[in-house]
Amino acid sequence: MVHALLSLDVGGLERNVVNQVRLAPSLGQDVTVVCLERPGDLASQAEALGARIICLDKPPGIRLGLIHRIATVLRELGPQVVHTHDVTTLFYTGPAARRAGVPLVVHTEHGRGDYHHFRKRLLGRLAGLYARPFYCLTEDMAAWVTSHRIVPRRKIRLIFNGIDMARFREPCVPDAVRSELGISPESPVIGTVGRLSEIKRQDVLIQAFARIRQRVPSAHLILVGDGPLRQSLGELAVALGLGDGVHFVGFRPHSAPYLRAMDVFALTSRSEGMPQAVLEAQIVGVPVVVNRVGGLPELIDHGRTGLLVEPGNELELAESLLSLLSDPERRRQMSEAGRREVESRYDIGRMADEYHHHYLDLLEATH
């Protein structure tokens, strides 16, 4: 089978694909990952797990000739299933798969597509003609897709994200990350994991942290990830007088040691589907404070498995983070409830099995 996407840059969508590659051998799947634009930082992980990586180096803009190139690749590979992971990739790969005689094309919508723009909405509707079905990660995402008439509701199937829980239970040296960053074991630590980009709004987190630092001078903030806003976010931290308390550690292929160094995890995105980083924080046992956007209200039971705040409200974010930092017992209860919820609903094996059995059922229906 083939997984197709723009690249294996670091992000929740891309990590979801790597997770599916990880379990492919146990399901009898021979996997190739086709990246339309570039390999990305996670390509080496996918290769190490046994996937072939094919990169087509698509330049910016609409490139209809790419359809022919993808069709040629698919004819050579001869997959039974092509699974796309963003609408732009489906726009090119759907017609290419049809030309190449691929029996089944499926698509996963990993977030709220930018469908309020007419051109993106049109692209989504055209692309949606080629996929059966459209998988969504949350009810919110399914409602978003149908409200913009990308595909009818009857084509949509819900499959929750999953994470490899065993990887987040691996032992690590206590306080190793804190020692590396010069943070004492007693200091309160807030952290986040994600690409440093406009949609993730880490600027709001840094501004909230400035308020927290006024009341808790020993607090620290760890940002795991890299991206186009690395320089501007660093400049913001310096301008707010936080230089010694904000730690940009860059991309890390395995985030668990950094998550374990945190007392509270925060996610300040203005849009999300079902973010891997939140699931990973919860399975490690870190209580979470996240924005009330996208599928997060479905994932977080406010007050029990985490806290929800309004997007862009740095004051509410700061107060919510402070409320957990000041109450170790509440943090413990919330982290235990969050871990139990993830263990019961978001296992990678369950996710991979659901996709696999959907493929088999749909292939059987084509004969």
Do the first three CATH levels of 2-162+347-366 and 165-345 match, i.e. the same topology?
A: yes
Short-list 165, 153, 223, CA closest to 191:
223
Structure tokens at 300: 């977080």
pLDDT tens, position by position, 156-171: 999 999 988 888 877 7
Strand arrangement of the beta sheet that strand 307-309 belongs to:
246-250, 220-224, 189-193, 264-267, 288-291, 307-309
| pLDDT above 80 (res 113) | no
Q: What's the topology of domain 2-162+347-366?
A: Rossmann fold (3.40.50)
Task: Give the pLDDT confidence score for residue 194 in this predicted structure.
Answer: 93
- All structural domains of the chain with their residue ranges: 2-162+347-366, 165-345
| Whether pTM exceeds 0.75 | yes
Task: Give the pLDDT confidence score for residue 174 in this predicted structure.
Answer: 65
Task: Give the pLDDT confidence score for residue 243 in this predicted structure.
Answer: 85
Task: Give the pLDDT confidence score for residue 367 in this predicted structure.
Answer: 67
Between the alpha carbon of residue 61 and those of residues 55, 87, 150, the distances in Å are: 17, 14, 21
pLDDT tens, position by position, 52-74: 999 999 999 889 999 999 999 99
Return the CATH number of 165-345, one of 3.40.50.300, 3.40.50.2000, 2.60.120.260, 2.130.10.10: 3.40.50.2000
Assign 366 a pLDDT band (cuts: 50, 70, 90).
confident
